[in-house]
Amino acid sequence: MTSRPLFHSALAASLPAVALLSGCQPPHPTGQLVVASKSSLASVDPVDVTTHAGLQLLSAVGDSLYTAAADGQLKPHLATALPQISPDGRSARIPLRRDVLFHDGSRFDAAAMVFSLERFRSLAKMGYLLDDRISGVRASGPYELELQLKRPYSALPALLSSISLAPLSPKAYRQHQSKPLADRFVGTGPYRLVSSTPQKQTLLPFERYWGPPPRNRGLHLVTLSNSTALFGALVSGEVDVLTSSGMDSDQQRALAQRAQQGRLVEGIGPAGEIGYLTLLSDRPPLNQPLLRRAVALSLDRELISQRVSYGIRAPLRSLVPPPLAGSEPPAWPAYNPTEARQLYQQAGYCQGRRFTLPLTFRSNVPADKLFALTWKAQLQRDLSDCVALEITGVESTTAYRQLADGAFPMILFDWSADYPDPDIYLAPMLACSKPKGQQCLEGNAAAAGSFWSAPGLQAELEVSERLSGPTRLPLLRKLQQRTAAAAAYIPVWQVAPRAWAQPRLRRPVFDGSGRLVLQALSVR
């Protein structure tokens, strides 16, 4: 007795079945597009949203008071003009548009804006964005908002361009004034959120939108959990647009090559994310500024950028990424092994004595691991007589947890801005509430793991926060030059967001906050 015929007939039946299934692809609704990314979305409430994917969604269904263009220029959006700042710089009045409706049909006004900002302050995980700057919010007229500032702050319009502060309908959120609403969003943006699950959100154009209508008839934002699947989904035509957030460099490079061959179209936005090294400056072995400067000179960014990311992560020698003010000229020195060797020698190394440089990287971030391995090999090649890199991987949440304890002599991190302003890059690393000479005992610099400060640095930071325009520029440069000279931080690379679309679509474009402009996606 044999069951071979049974096996063969099962095999013979399975092939037509697969062929039949492959032909049963559901029709693509005309004008609607599928946009894929890696991150799933647990909540669409601005008070919960902290991820790039969440902010991307909010930018389509919500509006901010100001928006940043791709060149970094801010312009009024729901506001009608830039804030009118009081002479003492501690209050700001913002006139608002009168022709805006929420998705539930209710009218947007100053009271709605106050409701939304107060709700954000009391509930949001990122409530510190406002708490650090704003002490009070009130409606000074039906369409005029008044903000009380804790201290003068020139980047207020940039702060208010944060999409996390998008107004919400007080009518829709009345029951959720003191608790988040995870799966619904009622704002004023160009799209209505029709349905939302962590893996998929459906958006349809809001017919009564005050601004220009979207160029497409709706969007399906889907999540695929790994880089290979995302790549495959775009290449096979299953999705129309793909964003680069969370994608491996190999796949990004392959997509860029396809774009060069005309098989896809590629859009690149302004870099909002930076990668940098934090050096523990108040404890051995890196408490010697000389050694820290030697380390800064030992980093071959160009080589590492190519080896780790095929140049996708562009080398960066400034804590503020271009095109923001203060990013040029770069304050940190370029790779210079000769000068680095001299400094190591001055510190007592290189003559038969090798400095062991400990580097911690986040083991769950592939680019960080590649950085560590590549830098180790580069130092072995160029400066093996002076320095050896000792690398250790820790999971990212563990790293965050132990950073403020001074657990890592040197660690690689990345930083993404909530809004496009130099202050949001500098203050979180340099601000210090309790400085003592070259040391920061309490404050952001301690929480960031460098514990570095300098006499007069805090005063300069505060002045920089007050100034704007060309008068601010020299101070921004000076702040970075001081930080570069101390080498408590070493910028490594910048990451520009990218998106790829099927060739029948227009080139994806980004706003100044590094978010894909979803309403501009359309067929050519």
Partner 1 sequence: MSRRRHLLRYLASRLALVPVMLWLIASLVFLLLRVAPGDPIDALLGLRAPPEARALLRQQLGLDQPLLVQYGRYLVDLLHGQLGDSLTNNEPVTAVIGHSLPASLELGVVALLIAAVLGIAVGFSGIARPEGKTDLAGRLYGIGTYALPPFWAAMVVQLVLAVWLGWLPVGGRFPATLVPPTGSGFYLLDSLLAGNTQQFWGALRHLVLPAATLGLLLSGVFANALRLNLRRALDSDYVEAARSRGLSERRVVLRHALPNALLPVLTIAGITVASLIGGALLIEVTYSWPGVAFRLQEAIGQRDYPVVQGIVVVVAALVVAVSVLVDLLVALLDPRVSF
Please tell me whether residue 228 binds partner 1 under the rule CB under 8 A. yes
The backbone region for 319, taken as left when phi is positive above 0, alpha when psi lies in -120 to 50, beta otherwise, is: alpha
Nearest to 489 by CA among 180, 278, 191, 205: 278
Tokens of 150: 């804790």
Residue 30's Cβ-count burial label (10 Å; 0-12, 13-18, 19+) is exposed
The residue from 82, 101, 172, 233 that contacts partner 1 (CB under 8 A) is 233
CB under 8 A: which stretch of 59-67, 105-113, 317-325, 400-408 binds partner 1?
A: 400-408
Of 333-372, binders to partner 1 (CB under 8 A) are: 364
Closer residue to partner 1 (CB): 238 or 339: 238
Closer residue to partner 1 (CB): 20 or 469: 20
Please tell me whether residue 515 binds partner 1 under the rule CB under 8 A. no
Task: Report yes or no: 145 and 113 within 8 Å, Cβ to Cβ.
Answer: yes
State in angstroms the smallest separation of the CB of 312 from partner 1. Answer: 21
State in angstroms the smallest separation of the CB of 340 from partner 1. Answer: 28
State in angstroms the smallest separation of the CB of 12 from partner 1. Answer: 13
State in angstroms the smallest separation of the CB of 133 from partner 1. Answer: 12
Q: How many CB atoms lie within 10 A of CB 70?
A: 16
Please tell me whether residue 481 binds partner 1 under the rule CB under 8 A. no
Q: How many CB atoms lie within 10 A of CB 447?
A: 17
Of 151-190, binders to partner 1 (CB under 8 A) are: 179-180, 182
Closer residue to partner 1 (CB): 91 or 278: 278
Of 433-472, binders to partner 1 (CB under 8 A) are: 444, 447-448
Please tell me whether residue 22 binds partner 1 under the rule CB under 8 A. yes
Closer residue to partner 1 (CB): 125 or 381: 125
Q: Where are the alpha helices (DSSP H) in 72-215?
A: 110-123, 128-131, 156-159
State in angstroms the smallest separation of the CB of 222 from partner 1. Answer: 5
Nearest to 242 by CA among 262, 217, 218, 266: 266
Please tell me whether residue 28 binds partner 1 under the rule CB under 8 A. yes
CB under 8 A: which stretch of 167-175, 219-227, 288-296, 300-308 binds partner 1?
A: 219-227
Q: Where are the alpha helices (DSSP H) in 298-395?
A: 301-309, 337-346, 366-382
- The count of chain residues that interact with partner 1, using the rule CB under 8 A, is 73
The residue from 185, 231, 361, 493 that contacts partner 1 (CB under 8 A) is 231
The residue from 118, 238, 385, 460 that contacts partner 1 (CB under 8 A) is 238
Please tell me whether residue 393 binds partner 1 under the rule CB under 8 A. no
Q: How many helices (H) and strands (E) does the chain have?
A: 16, 21
State in angstroms the smallest separation of the CB of 16 from partner 1. Answer: 12
Please tell me whether residue 30 binds partner 1 under the rule CB under 8 A. no
What mask of x and - would describe binding to partner 1 in positions 50 to 69, judged by CB under 8 A? x-------------------
The residue from 13, 16, 26, 284 that contacts partner 1 (CB under 8 A) is 26
Please tell me whether residue 13 binds partner 1 under the rule CB under 8 A. no
Strands, E assignment, 408-521: 410-416, 434-436, 439-442, 489-495, 498-501
State in angstroms the smallest separation of the CB of 510 from partner 1. Answer: 22
Q: At 37, which helix (H) or strand (E)?
A: strand 32-37
Q: At 243, which helix (H) or strand (E)?
A: strand 241-243
The residue from 225, 351, 380, 471 that contacts partner 1 (CB under 8 A) is 225
The residue from 13, 71, 174, 236 that contacts partner 1 (CB under 8 A) is 236
Of 108-137, binders to partner 1 (CB under 8 A) are: 125-128, 131-132
DSSP 230: H
Sheet bearing 355-362, strands edge to edge? 313-315, 489-495, 273-279, 410-416, 355-362, 387-394
State in angstroms the smallest separation of the CB of 238 from partner 1. Answer: 6
Tokens of 131: 């708490």
Q: How many CB atoms lie within 10 A of CB 93?
A: 15
Q: At 280, which helix (H) or strand (E)?
A: none
State in angstroms the smallest separation of the CB of 302 from partner 1. Answer: 27
**Contacts of 281 by beta carbon, 8 Å cutoff, 6+ apart:** 287, 289, 292, 438, 439, 450, 451, 452, 486, 488
Please tell me whether residue 222 binds partner 1 under the rule CB under 8 A. yes
The residue from 90, 107, 200, 507 that contacts partner 1 (CB under 8 A) is 200
The residue from 84, 135, 177, 197 that contacts partner 1 (CB under 8 A) is 197
Closer residue to partner 1 (CB): 302 or 395: 395
Please tell me whether residue 29 binds partner 1 under the rule CB under 8 A. yes
Closer residue to partner 1 (CB): 196 or 378: 196
What mask of x and - would describe binding to partner 1 in positions 137 to 156, judged by CB under 8 A? --------------------
State in angstroms the smallest separation of the CB of 55 from partner 1. Answer: 13
State in angstroms the smallest separation of the CB of 240 from partner 1. Answer: 10
Gap between the Cα atoms of 147 and 118, Å rounded: 11
Half-sphere exposure of 474 (CA within 13 A, CB side): 1
Please tell me whether residue 199 binds partner 1 under the rule CB under 8 A. yes
Tokens of 83: 């804030």
Closer residue to partner 1 (CB): 310 or 415: 415
Gap between the Cα atoms of 449 and 453, Å rounded: 12
> Residue for token digits 């609704």?
29
Query: What is the dihedral angle through the alpha carbons of 31, 36, 42, 45, rounded to the nearest 10 degrees?
Result: -50
